[in-house]
Structure 1
Amino acid sequence: MAVSLKRLFSRSIAADPDAVGPLAPLSPRSTKRKMMLVTLASTLALVGAVSGAYYFAMRPVTLRIAVGPQNSDDLKVVQTLTQSFAHSQVRLRPLQTDGATASAAALADGKADLAIIRGDLDVPKIAQAVATLRKNVAVLWVPPSVKGQKAGPKITKIQQLAGRRIGVVGRTPANVNLLKVILTQYGVDTSKLDIIQFPANEAAEAIRNQKADAYLAAGPVNSKITSDAINASIREGASPKFLAIDAAAAISQNFPAYEASEIPAGTFGGSPARPDDEVKTISFSHHIVARKGLSEATVAAFTRQLFAVRQTLLSEFPLAAKIETPDTDKDAAIPVHPGAAAYVDGEEKTFLDRYSDYIWFSLMGLSLLGSVGAWFASYLKKDERGNNSTLRERLLDMLTAARHSDSIDELDGMQSEADTILRDTLQCFEHGAIDNGSLTAFNIALEQFHNAVADRKTLLASMPQNLHRAGVQLRATGAS
């Protein structure tokens, strides 16, 4: 039964316009609309949270990378990569050091996120491999003797270096350690050697001035520093003698940082070719490492960028071609970083892969919070609903009383009270304390009450005044 509140409300006011004050206009918002607004607000909050998480995950990240020394090939590579990554997700900020040892220390001390280190040095425990920057080979050679100048016994093999003066290209102690590892394998007493180190930019001049009997250089096969040092060893067209490290395999067994390798014939050019045949040697790597605990997603993105630009850098920096993926084996000398391993193995996670669980749990959490909020709101409106039920029962009681009332004043008083009940009921509906079904039931009771009051007033108005008084007296006498 459809009942118009507006019609009932108008009738109540018309019956006694002075019974109650002016009523506040009913808000057009219904409970359904409120729920729609709450749902919309929750959706917007969720979208905002997901958007914020996406921005947080994809925002540019700057990594500090320790590299050195000054003017080294490693520093040049990093500077080139820094320029290439200027507008990428992962960017670089070079931290110049005195060399690989200092770079490793910077990583261990937390001053850098990435570092370029030598694999044959002490690797920090927190270092994990991201890429192999380049492989280096050890080159041992003996300059040819000068005609007319007295020379010592001819050196043709490594054992004959005992007691000789050996020059090492580069100031880093790591190259001296490399020389000692080689000589120790051949039983040469390194304590009786005269080892001289030359800065890379002074090595060629020192070699031309015959500062040592033999020399060692370590660097990429195509290293310009090594090539210049060997070319400075040429005497009157005679090429230097290259000393093969035949025990390279044994050295690699004793020192996992080293690998058996070869120097191809003609690597250092010249005619005749230098060397004129393949020479056995040992090699070691320069690695790009990241500190343990650095974000897996960040390292994966850096690794992806690194290999994406490698080919484009070849024209301006050929050393970029030497960059290789890290060793992902569990027994690798330097454990691989999980982010780099994910890129190499093709298991790099997307944004949804990384955050789908968080998004799902957030949705579940919002749903739970919505349910708890609805229950709490319902609990807070419990008293209001109880009070409204009491008012409805009062209205039904007045309905019964109105049908037997003999006083128009009494009927007017009950109608004024009904107006107050109507006001409270409409407020309860607006607050969401009662639903449409409860409001419909109240409308039916209110209409019946108004009908009863109207019918009773009509009946009382049609009765003669004396009959009306007699009826009142009779009722009074009967009551006594």
Structure 2
Amino acid sequence: MFVTLAGILALAGTLAGAYYFAMRPEMLRIAVGPANSDDVKVVQALTQAFTQVHSHIRLRPIQTEGAAASSQALADGKADLAIIRGDLDVPKDAEAVATLRKNVAVLWVPPPAKGKGRGKKADPKITKIAELAGHRVGVVGRTPANVNLLKVILQQSGVDPGKVEIVQFPASEAADAIRNQRADAYLAAGPVNSKITADAVAASTRDSGTLTFLAIDSAEAIAQNHPAYEASEIPAGAFGGSPGRPDDEVKTISFSHHIVARKTLSESTVAAFTRQLFSVRQALMAEFPLAAKIETPDTEKDAAIPVHPGAAAFVDGEEKTFIDRYSDYIWWGLMLVSAMGSAGAWFAGYLKKDERYNNSTLRERLLDMLAAARRSDSIEELDRMQTEADDILRDTLQCFEHGAISEGALTAFNIALDQFHNAVADRKALLNSIPQNLQRAAAQFRASGTM
């Protein structure tokens, strides 16, 4: 009984410990950059939201120089999660958890400044990407990924990138660079409602004319040759103004920023993070509109970035509960406790085999005393046997308390003891009814016969 109780307590303690370790807050490192970017702001908002609602998953941002550096941090094992660009090299160990946002490539040509070209023949206005050869194109942002994006567009449009002068400037300096006419055309990449792109487009507006947005007519071909890109459109009026800019839909390409996780990160952890991400998204939208762009990952087998099984379980509604995840361990734990209880009971019985044998000998002695009491002719002898029976009773009760004998054996002993007491009482009553001289004669007769 004590062994079984100890096993049950051990199992309960094990289950309680397993539940504590399974449910305790888990800290995940997430690589994101560059500083002051929208991605950093989103991650900071998520970090605060997870802390405020006491979520199981907590985030610890690791700031990097950009998406490429974040990707490398994940590959090096310095981060558990990372914000990466889908058109950059994805680490082999990375699997998609969510789509943070979709970005579009915006190419436009500002109107010529007043007085430009006075006294000489003005350059023809650029209306197509094919006409960018021999011109300077400004790229908003310092990341090399935007330059690679421009080169992909130029090559697919039949323009040799070597014949285009590409200059880059930080997003914070974009408006000044455009006002100072540092390029003939400009490229920006970001969400359709990106403030950076909207400010750059607004800085290009002049009184001398209207902006020209360059359509990427080869968008489908780019998407076919580069799976990271998709054919897309910039909606009319996306960048505001009066009249709206652009005044009609413009063909372009898009790519995504993804939240990815290490492949070795547990399925339950990623499922919990994904569930929390989409549960707080709605609350963040009021103060951080970019949170509305967070989408579930592509769960198709041919997706550009394979989805993590934990995220797929959440999307497909197949997320496992605590019991689902640990039912096998619980079942095997019960089997182990049962086996340990049986082994403990056998071992305890083995240790008490001498005590059981001794009690069995005493029980046989009690039965012999029962037969002797029925033949005894001496009250003194009967008293001695009764005293010995009391000692046997004390030893038997101790054996029962120690677990050496079962309740059934104790019952059998009680029956034998009652019979012995009845035999002693009957024999004493008989001896007391016989005169003393006859008792002595009978005793002498038996003694002589014995001799």
- Shared fold per TM-score greater than 0.5: yes
Other-structure match for 1:436: 407
The residue number in structure 2 matching 1:401 is 372
Deviation of 1:477 (Å):
4.7
Aligned-pair CA distance for 1:74:
0.8
CA contact (8 A) 1:159 1:186 kept: yes
AA partner of residue 78 (structure 1): V
Task: Measure the CA separation in 2 of the matches of 1:437 and 1:236.
Answer: 109
The normalised TM-score by structure 1 is 0.85
In structure 2, the partner of 1:16 is: none
Aligned equivalents of 1:383, 1:182: Cα separation in 2: 92
Alignment of 1:233 with 2:204, yes or no, is yes
Aligned to 1:115: 82
Matched length:
445
- Once structures 1 and 2 are overlaid, which stretch shifts more, 251-260 or 48-57? 48-57
Question: Residue 3 of structure 2 contacts residue 345 of structure 2 at CA under 8 Å; is this kept in 1?
Answer: no
Distance 1:164 1:428 in 2: 104
Preserved contact between residue 242 and residue 279 of structure 1 (Cα < 8 Å): yes
Q: Tell me the alpha carbon deviations over residues 126-155 of structure 1, each in whole angstroms, 9 at most, x when there is no partner.
A: 111111111111111222223432344432
* Greater displacement, 284-293 / 393-402: 393-402
The amino acid that maps onto 1:73 is: D
Identity %, equivalent residues: 78
Q: 1:331 aligns with which of 294, 302, 309?
A: 302
* Aligned partner of 2:155 among 184, 188, 208: 184
Change (3 A) 1:54 1:465: closer
**Cα offset, 1:182, TM superposition:** 1.0
Instruction: Report the counterpart of residue 48 of structure 2 in structure 1.
Output: 83
Answer yes or no: is 1:59 the counterpart of 2:43.
no
Q: Distance in 2 between matches of 1:315 and 1:420?
A: 87
Scaled by the length of structure 2, the TM-score of the pair is 0.90
Post-superposition Cα deviations, 1:326-375, rounded to whole Å, max 9, x if no partner, equal 10001100111111111111222222222333333333333333333333
The one-character-per-residue Cα deviations of 1:68-112 (angstroms, maximum 9, x if unpaired) are: 111111111111112211122222221111110111111112221
SS at match of 2:204: coil
Alignment check: 8 A CA contact 2:4 2:341 kept: no
SS at match of 1:403: helix
Structure 1 portions without partners, runs of 5+: 1-34
Q: Which residue of 2 aligns with 1:343?
A: 314
2:91 match: 124
Q: CA deviation at 1:448?
A: 3.1
Matched, 1:357 2:328: yes
1:95 aligned residue (59, 62, 65): 62
Q: 1:434 to 1:40 in 2, by over 3 A?
A: closer
Cα distance, 1:229 vs structure 2? 1.4
Tell me how large the CA RMSD over aligned residues is: 2.5
Gap runs ≥5 in structure 2: none
Distance in 2 between the 1:346 and 1:61 partners? 22
Structure 2 residue aligned with 1:146:
113
Kept in 1, the 8 Å contact 2:7–2:340? The answer is no
Q: 1:189-241: CA deviations, max 9, x gaps? A: 22343221101111111111111222111111111111211222223241222
SS in 1 for 2:36: coil
1:311 maps to 282
* Partner Cα distance (2:281, 2:438) in 1: 114
Give 1:262's match in structure 2, choosing from 214, 217, 233: 233
The question of whether the paired residues in 2 share the 8 Å contact of 1:239 and 1:274 is answered with no
Equivalence map 1:207-246=2 (5 Å): 207-246=178-217
- Secondary structure of 2:236's partner? coil
Further displaced range: 341-350 or 170-179: 341-350
Aligned to 1:29: none
* Contact map agreement 1:233 1:240 (CA 8 A) in 2: yes
* Per-residue CA distance 1:393-417 (angstroms, 9 max, x = gap): 1111222233334555544443333
| AA of the residue aligned to 1:72 | S
Q: Does 1:277 align with 2:244?
A: no
